[in-house]
Amino acid sequence: MPRQVYFFDRPDRFVTGTVGEPGDRTFYLQASGEGRTVSVALEKVQVSMLADRLEELLEEVIRQLSEELPTETGPTDADPLDSPVEEEFRVGAMGLAWDGEARLVVIEAQAAGEQPADEATILADVEDGPDALRVRISAETARAFIERARRVVSAGRPPCPLCGGTLDRAGHICPRQNGYRRAKPDP
């Protein structure tokens, strides 16, 4: 089956967000532009790693290529994900690149498959392979994405004040209390 690449060149919106309650959230990347919206599901750790790697990429471009990139973020986007959130696929692998000619960050999120990701298909224009969401964004948009991603990731369940583990609605089994359940503190 041919590969479906959802391509957005300088989308109107590229954000991460969640659906559900802390402890039971699904994380999404969402790109919107030209009258269409594409949402792909991924793990919380993938969102965090994408933000970290984006920041590293921008720093490396400045350092290695002596590129003058704006250091300010684009406009803050605190709006929820565009509804309805319809998952195109679950992300299995991601890739980042810098398009020096266009001065844009390229991000690709590939669908998870039964086989491990083939690195040769990430950021490549091949006919066969997993479906992918590919966006090209400015440095300002990338910085705004990083800022929002960190807010979304940190908005999860609160940590236990004794051990640092995450508390769910019922609390958790706390090793600092010899395995006794620690109740979630009242708000």
pLDDT at 114 > cutoff 90: no
Domains (range + CATH), the chain: 5-156 (3.30.2450), 159-187 (no CATH)
**Mean pLDDT of the region 20-44:** 94
Tens of pLDDT along 35-76?
A: 999 999 999 999 999 999 999 999 999 888 776 776 666 678
Say what the pLDDT of residue 22 is.
80
Which residues neighbour 131 within 8 Å (Cβ) at sequence distance 6 or greater?
3, 4, 5, 6, 88, 89, 110, 111
Residue 175 pLDDT level (bands cut at 50, 70, 90): confident
80-91 burial, b for 16+ CB within 10 Å, e for fewer?
ebeeebeebbeb
Length of the chain: 187
Structure tokens at 27: 């994380």
Strand 13-19, strand 36-42: pairing: unpaired
The predicted pLDDT at position 41 comes to: 98
Least confident window among 73-77, 89-93, 178-182: 178-182
Q: What is the mean pLDDT of residues 163-170?
A: 70
Q: How confident is the model at residue 118 (pLDDT cuts 50, 70, 90)?
A: confident
Examine the pLDDT at 164 and tell me if it is beyond 80. no
- Threshold 0.85, pTM exceeds: no
